[in-house]
Amino acid sequence: MKQAHSLCLVGHSGSGKTALAEAVLRLAGTSGDIALDRTPEEKNRRISIDLAIAALTWQGQRVNVLVTPGLGEFVEEIYKGLDAADLAILVVNAEKPVEVVTEQAWAVRQTLGRPALVFVNMMDKPLADPEKVLEELRPALEGKFLPLSYPVREGEKLVGLVDVFTGQPTGGAKFSVPPATASRVEELRTELIEEAATFEDALLEKVLGEATLTREEVLPALQVGVKNGKLVPVLWGSVAAGVGLRELLDTAVALVPEAPGAAGTVLRAFSLALDPYLGRLAYVKVLSGEVREGDTLFNVGTKEKLQVRDVLTFTGVKLEKSGSAGVGAIAALPKLEGVSLGATLASSSDAPALAPIPFPRPVFIRAVSAKTQSDDEKLSTALRDLTSVRATLTFYRDPVTKEGLLSGMGDVQLDVLAERLKNRYGVEAKYRVPKVPYKETIKKAATAQYRHKKQTGGHGQFGEVHLRIEPLPRGRGFEFADETKGGVIPQQFIPGVEKGVREAMEEGILAGFPVVDVKAAVFYGMYHEVDSSELSFKIAARTAFKLAAEKADPVLLEPIMALTVTAPETFTGDIISDLSSRRGRILGMESEGGRTTIKVEVPLSETLSYALDLKSVTQGRATFQSEFLRYDFVPHELQERLLPQLRAAHEG
């Protein structure tokens, strides 16, 4: 059998990707259960959530079919599927060809450099119009869209397809081609040949010589244009009516580029999963060589040696032991510990690592806890498991607020995760808006002194500390200096002074948040030969710091985030207005291809629900990325409003 090839179906929810994949599996003679949405969450919601993988054989060729979800919050699965694909198939709804995830998936395939074709589904729908589809696709998505067939409709009925090369019905169908359709097909044939000829000199000479060209003569040039992403074939059909499926498979198999030969075995772990029966699985694409049961591989990034226990490949939608997988194949390797998403695995530890998959960072954060306190540890364990196989889900505990924070791409993704926690682990999670991890600092220098004196039976406690504190530049943290002279505080007690200052800084000045960017210097003190101890000086220093801080103009610091927002140009004004209302500072804008990228600094407190708000403002057509930039002063008026709430929360 020839080298295996992989087709990845992408597109907006409702375009029919899953139905199309199941239909071509049936067409290829796959028996048994071929349902691709298999998890309880997918069945409950009736949507695709995870990347689905299946395999079929067509024209003696093994073909892997990957199906991605159609909701934007599950964009990670689009990256995974396209990373493993040799050819992307953009599935569009004939009545609504360009939707949010249509654009999103197209942008991802361009980022990953994957060739593509378009399958226009639902051509049997009442409002389906091939010319309208082309009019909407061509300005919205980059590329030369060239139909290889053309639909014939009578009223609202799809009669069949006409082959652009021959002008005749496809698939042996028998119907008369209307004169207007025949004329349009001839125009499309001329356009197709002229565009393909730009990729092959010999074909261009034949075109200039007005030679009559066959499909076989044009196909090599078309393959080159498709491979480099410039030409995008368009096919038509209806999954429900069973029209266009055979033509789609024939064309896809003909256009898939062969993988370049390479020495040794190289695999890409493009997806990870936790299977309830098989445990942790690494889904790999075999880029060169062959992987066999018992092989020793190296995780190129870590140089760790890995033993391949089993090699599982797909028969239809089912994973079965196969013992080996050759170039182009997609396989699942169980129990490969330490393999991260996107890792390069190879037979040689010196093999070059593949570029990482450029997953977006999670942008929607919620504090998470178990509904019952007794399940807190169980929840943490489950979240660490589930987030370990996802790039756009992270879980960590904030060192300032002590909250468990779950980050994802939006509320739907987090709701699905909550369902999965309940279904798989039997633990119920609850979400809330997270606390802002404020910090505190001072704006000016100040001094204070405190004598700690306590007499009990036997030895008492005595320590006096004179302390000076002063602000440091942002990000400097904490500095401590011993400026005492003449042994006014014995050296063995100085560590106690520093400990006391550090404890006071952890406890905060204004509302219980850590104090940062402060230098503290002990410059004088007194001790008692019998009653002084490290504890006494720690207590004295802690109080001295608080007294000095009260005089040093204490202020709140808030985290500032750098946001990069990308949206269609029509939404630019609304986005800027909204960001300005969030105390945003616009740093710059760039426009390209009808989309604007806005760079802005915004306080974290103003972005906790920005993923939802941006979706509302732009009908889901904008994306953004966020990263921590720095801490900065909270404006005075806002601080005065915030402090009573923050103190109450801290004391509560």
Chunked into runs of 10 residues, the chain (652 residues) has average pLDDT values of: 87 96 95 88 94 95 96 96 97 96 95 96 94 94 95 89 94 90 94 90 74 82 92 96 95 85 87 92 95 95 93 94 94 93 94 94 96 92 95 95 95 96 95 96 97 81 96 94 95 96 96 96 94 94 97 97 95 95 95 91 95 92 94 95 92 76
Q: pTM here?
A: 0.92
In a domain, 204, yes or no: no
CA 204 vs CA 186, 325, 426: distances in Å: 18, 40, 65
Do 30 and 160 belong to one domain? yes
- In terms of domains, do 307 and 372 share one? no
- pLDDT for position 262: 67
Split into its structural domains, the chain has a count of 5
Residue 190 lies in a domain: no
Which is nearest to 293 in space by CA: 276, 307, 314, 306?
307
Q: Are residues 336 and 402 in the same domain?
A: no
Residue that is last in its domain, among 495, 524, 552: 552
The answer to the question of residue 205 being in a domain is no
Residue 79 forms part of a structural domain: yes
Report pLDDT for 457: 65
pLDDT at 211: 61
Residues 30 and 113 in one domain: yes
The CATH number of the domain where 404 resides is what? Answer: 3.30.70.870
- Give the domain-ending residue among 412, 432, 452: 432
Domain check: are 390 and 420 in the same one?
Answer: yes
pLDDT score at 200 = 85
534, 552, 570 - which closes a domain: 552
**Looking at residue 149, what is its pLDDT?**
96
| pLDDT for position 204 | 79
Is 23 a domain residue? yes
Residue 257 DSSP class: P
Q: Could you tell me the CATH number of the domain that includes residue 25?
A: 3.40.50.300
Q: What is the pLDDT of residue 594?
A: 84
| Rounded Cα distance, 71 and 37, in Å | 14
- How many angstroms separate the CA atoms of 158 and 151, rounded? 7
For residues 638 and 568, state if they share a domain. yes
Q: Is residue 227 part of a domain?
A: no
Does residue 237 share a domain with residue 339? no
Domain that holds residue 102: 5-177+232-255
Is residue 284 located within the same domain as residue 327?
yes
Q: Which residues contact 296 (CB under 8 A, 6 or more apart)?
A: 305, 306, 307, 308, 347
Residue 534 sits in the same domain as residue 470: yes
Return the bridge partners of 34, or none: none
490 and 568 within one domain: no
Question: Is 291 a domain residue?
Answer: yes
| Same structural domain, 392 and 308 | no
Q: How far apart are CA 55 and CA 30, in angstroms?
A: 9
Closest by Cα among 273, 291, 290 to 282: 273
Are residues 97 and 244 both part of a single domain?
Answer: yes
Structural domain includes residue 326: yes
- Quote the Cα angle for 58-61-63, to 5°: 75
d(CA 472, CA 584): 26
